[in-house]
Amino acid sequence: MILHGYFRSSAAWRVRIALGLKGLSATQAAHHLRRGEQRAPGYLALNPQGLVPALETEGGAVLTQSLAIIEWLEETHPTPPLLPGDALHRARIRAVALAIACDIHPVQNLKIMARLRAMGHAEPEVQAWSREVIAEGLAAVEALVAPGPFCFGATPTLADLCLVPQLGNARRFGVDLTGMPRLLAAEAACAILPAFVAAAPENQPDAE
């Protein structure tokens, strides 16, 4: 498999964690987002959205969107499960994952921030808006998780795969996390697992 990503992309980070937890390996192909390499014609032929990650499977298929990739990994390599339990439990896990991936994370997308600047918003305004949205979103997630010690029990789930990169982003934007003990506890539980350590941005071949 080939994983197309960028060391600091939280979406690619999620997929790296999933691969590690599943005991799978993938060759990494880096696309420097700040240099616009994700818009190169060769990459757009793989992913017309011009976003990372994209995963080329061993069979030659190309998958896009991090949650879709992770659910494909879950279906094709079900052990260990990232969506365990009954239907209600899985729905709650997905709800937290989607709250992060769809409602919180997009405001840190380089494209979105660039458009805000192009609309005349000063950099302090852009940064402050991002911090506010992240803080509000994570406060809601804090109330939704049921740590034990991970977001939903004794093993990491899809929710944890989304949470850890988002907390990394939150710190880069200067968000105060002191009032989120449940999220910090889940992050601490993840931090000692080899799959999470190996997937961290600073441990990637293209890290700067």
Confidence (pLDDT) at 174: 95
What's residue 66's pLDDT? 98
Note the pTM of the prediction, 2 decimals.
0.94
Residue intervals in the chain for CATH 1.20.1050.10: 87-195
Residue in this structure with the two tokens 């899809």, named with its chain if needed: 158
**Residue 90: per-residue pLDDT:** 97
Spell out, as residue ranges, where the chain has pLDDT lower than 70.
none
pLDDT at 160: 98
CA distance 101 to 151: 15
Residues of the chain with CATH 3.40.30.10: 2-80
Quote the Cα angle for 204-104-89, to 5°: 90
Q: Domain 2-80 falls in which CATH fold?
A: Glutaredoxin (3.40.30)
87-195: CATH architecture: Up-down Bundle (1.20)
pLDDT at res. 126: 87
* Predicted pLDDT at 108: 78
Q: What is the pLDDT of residue 32?
A: 96
SS3 62: strand
Region of 65 (left: φ > 0; alpha: ψ -120 to 50; beta: rest) is left
